[in-house]
Amino acid sequence: MTILGTILFLLVFLLIAPKPRAALGGFLANAGTWMHAYAPLSYVVLLLALAAPFVSVLLVARWPKHEEPESPMTRYRGDDVLDD
């Protein structure tokens, strides 16, 4: 949680200053131009990048649970003498 707070704190100061805000705006404009220039491939890459976290969460959630094997010594355990 502290990492998320640190990132948000730095992001606020990054977006307050005009030069980094202009650089981020230019980066997003260039990214949009690149998306349209390489249309089919770029949309597939974007779809894979956005779907990968959800697929990994589903994969981990549906992974078979590990069951501990039965101890081989349980069959050698005798009856308790006091249980009459």
pLDDT in tens, 34-71: 899 999 999 999 999 999 999 999 999 999 988 888 87
Distance CA 41, CA 35 (A): 8
Determine the Cα–Cα distance for residues 55 and 63; give it in Å rounded to an integer.
Answer: 12
- Model pLDDT, residue 16: 85
Residue 14 makes CB contacts below 8 A (sequence gap 6+) with 20, 21, 24
Helices (H), 17-64: 18-37, 39-61
Each domain of the chain, given as residue ranges in start order, spans 20-61
Q: How far apart are CA 19 and CA 25, in angstroms?
A: 10
